Amino acid sequence: MAIQDLFSLQGDVAIITGAGRGIGRAIAIAFAQAGASVVCAARTQADIDDTARQCRQSGGSALAVACDVSNEEDLAKLVKACVDEYGKISILVNNAGGAYPNDPLKTDAKTFNRDFNFNVTCALSLTQLCQPQLLANKGNVINITSAVARYAQAGFSSYGTAKAALTQLTKLLAADFAPNIRVNGVAPGTILTEALGQFLNEEIQEKMTALTPLKSLGHPDDIAAAALYLASPAARWVSGKIIEVDGGAESTTWPF
């Protein structure tokens, strides 16, 4: 197979959650550029409409479906919309997630469970719904976890626990679904997104950059490139693995 074909998604159909901005948007556009038809899912219709527009400008086909991943009816409608439009699902990217830093002594069970469900349970639920299509098409799942899953750092007991669980779920599902469905993950480090931007000023960004071995913060395209590899034929012999894309950081770059 020619090298360009190894990284082609021609003929694939991908669902990407959290595709309205940031990492999810970058993944959707990269997949479209690689030839996939993409279904962009997020809660805000205007955001995913814009992502889908950029995917089409990149030469791909795209559908925008408003979806709250914590709503099981929305997830079922998302899967149905994808199959109705494109006839199949061959790639699922569970990117929707996130949580604010927290004080463990002030975090009640409701908040902790909400963060866990948003980052872990929703990914499992959508994977279950997509499994028949993924099996029929020998597809693959990519979970976007986080470097926080492996760092020991103050202030992230809720988010870090959830992402560590998603990391382990990725490995366990890879064992459950082998040999016909591959399941992998990407663990981003400090990525310049709107979500991070609310915490940044020039001084904080300089501190985070200094704590990163490669002396720069990441961009959404860095994560999209790793996801494209895992989704493509180039990774046909890769399952149950997490690609760490973090500028070489082996401990937290959070400067607070």
What residues act catalytically? Answer: 159
**Alpha-carbon gap, residue 64 to 240, rounded angstroms:** 29
**Alpha-carbon gap, residue 123 to 249, rounded angstroms:** 26
Omega of the bond leading into 132 within 30 degrees of 0 (cis) = no
Which of 26-43 are b and which e, b meaning 16 or more Cβ less than 10 Å from the residue's Cβ?
bbbbbbbbbbbbbbbbbb
**Of residues 161, 165, 36, 136, the one with CA closest to residue 93:** 36
**Alpha-carbon gap, residue 118 to 129, rounded angstroms:** 16
Residue 46 burial by Cβ neighbours in a 10 Å radius (0-12, 13-18, 19+): exposed
**Alpha-carbon gap, residue 19 to 50, rounded angstroms:** 10
